[in-house]
């Protein structure tokens, strides 16, 4: 079986290209990981090599022991993923303690997984638990308008959620639980991983102040669509704020309640 012909690889590569096309992945910005299904592992395991060393994850993810993830490489450009998959992405296996990983495919020539691996894995662990295994994709991108808003809006979940919901009618249907906000933190370590995973117990989207979007979903379409919807809404808010600091009219709390009824979603009262 050719690894590169597998649907899960093709979907992952397409998402990298689509994210680059949106302008969310300057240089090596952003990272993507996918928790593989048993059938994905089965379809490519003949291509695995177990020669490389185990390395510490720098956090503990015991609930992910023995799982395999497709991941982007650290310092690798999303632009280049479709041009040379084996150099820019790879498959890692988690050990039986949930504290180490090893590369079993790809990331050739000494490449390593994304520096945000601790954040990705801690959030995969949380999402695997709270969605009963449904969520498999974690995506981080440097979405321009979301980043811009983190300089002018208070860094509060309820403010970001409400403002983003108001900018496009279907936002509350796409992210009914709202969005969480992580204050500025050093990227790539355990601290930002822990702070983000606390929020992701409740939300599918965390906004990293002055940095970007971090989000989770069941598959590539849903996860990319979620980031796209949040960023589109942020773009409208940036345009609106550029025209005027006040709204002449908007979607009201009662409008949201009507929307929730019509679309059969539950919107937390704290955001209404
Ligand atoms: P990596 O190249 O290590 O994935 O880092 C990019 C990034 O966006 C860090 O937040
Ligand atoms: Zn980043």
Model pLDDT for residues 162-181, shown as the tens digit of each residue: 999 999 999 999 999 999 99
What sign has the CA pseudo-torsion 160, 163, 164, 169? positive
Where does 22-91 have alpha helices with state H?
Answer: 38-44, 78-81, 85-88
Q: What is the CATH number of the domain that holds 58?
A: 3.40.225.10
Mean pLDDT throughout 213-234? 98
* Protein residue with least CA distance to atom 1, ligand 1: 74
Indicate if the pLDDT at residue 95 is higher than 90: yes
- Here the tokens at position 151 are 């300089």
The length of the chain, given as a count of residues: 272
Helix (H) / strand (E) element for 75: namely none
CB of 30 sitting under 6 A from ligand 1: yes
The chain-wide mean pLDDT, for the chain, equals: 98
Average pLDDT over residues 19-39: 98
Instruction: Give the count of domains, the chain.
Output: 1
Q: Is 187 in the pocket of ligand 1 (CB under 6 A)?
A: yes
pLDDT in tens, 106-158: 999 999 999 999 999 999 999 999 999 999 999 999 999 999 999 999 999 99
Q: What is the CA(95)–ligand 2 centre distance, in A? A: 26
Q: What is the mean pLDDT of residues 187-200?
A: 96
- Which residues, other chains included, contact 203 with Cβ-Cβ below 8 Å and sequence gap of 6+? 157, 175, 177, 178, 179, 180
Q: For residue 242, what pLDDT is reported?
A: 98
Model confidence, pTM: 0.98
pLDDT at 40 over 90: yes
Q: Is the pLDDT of residue 56 over 80?
A: yes
| Half-sphere exposure (Cβ direction) of 167: Cα atoms closer than 13 Å | 22
pLDDT score for 1: 72
Q: In the chain, what percentage of residues exceed pLDDT 90?
A: 99
Predicted pLDDT of residue 234: 98
**Bridge partners of residue 171, in order along the sequence:** none
| Domain encompassing residue 51 | 3-271
Residue 74 beta carbon below 6 angstroms from any ligand 1 atom: yes
Mean pLDDT, residues 3-28 = 98
């Amino acid at each position: 079986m050719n690894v590169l012909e597998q649907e899960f690889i093709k979907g992952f590569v397409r998402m990298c290209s689509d994210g680059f096309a949106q302008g969310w992945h300057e240089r090596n910005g952003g990272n993507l990981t996918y928790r593989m299904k048993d059938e994905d592992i089965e379809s490519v395991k003949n291509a695995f090599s177990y020669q490389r060393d185990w390395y510490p994850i720098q956090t503990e993810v015991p609930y992910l022991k023995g799982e395999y993830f497709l991941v982007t490489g650290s310092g690798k450009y999303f632009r280049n993923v479709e041009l040379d998959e084996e150099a820019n992405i790879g498959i890692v296996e988690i050990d039986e303690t949930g504290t180490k990983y090893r590369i079993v495919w790809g990331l050739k020539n000494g490449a390593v997984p994304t520096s945000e691996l601790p954040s990705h894995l801690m959030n995969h662990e949380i999402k695997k638990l709270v969605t009963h295994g449904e969520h498999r994709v974690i995506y981080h991108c440097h979405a321009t308008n979301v980043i811009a808003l983190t300089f002018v809006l208070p860094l509060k979940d309820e403010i970001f959620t409400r403002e983003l919901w108001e900018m496009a009618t279907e936002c509350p249907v796409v992210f009914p639980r709202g969005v969480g906000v992580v204050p500025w933190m050093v990227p790539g370590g355990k601290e930002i991983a822990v702070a983000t995973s606390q929020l992701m117990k409740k939300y599918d989207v965390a906004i990293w102040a002055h940095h970007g979007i971090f989000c989770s979903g069941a598959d590539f379409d849903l996860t990319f669509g979620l980031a796209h919807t949040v960023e589109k809404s942020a773009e409208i808010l940036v345009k609106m704020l550029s025209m005027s600091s006040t709204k002449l009219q908007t979607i009201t709390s009662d409008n949201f309640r009507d929307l929730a009824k019509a679309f059969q979603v539950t919107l937390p009262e704290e955001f209404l």
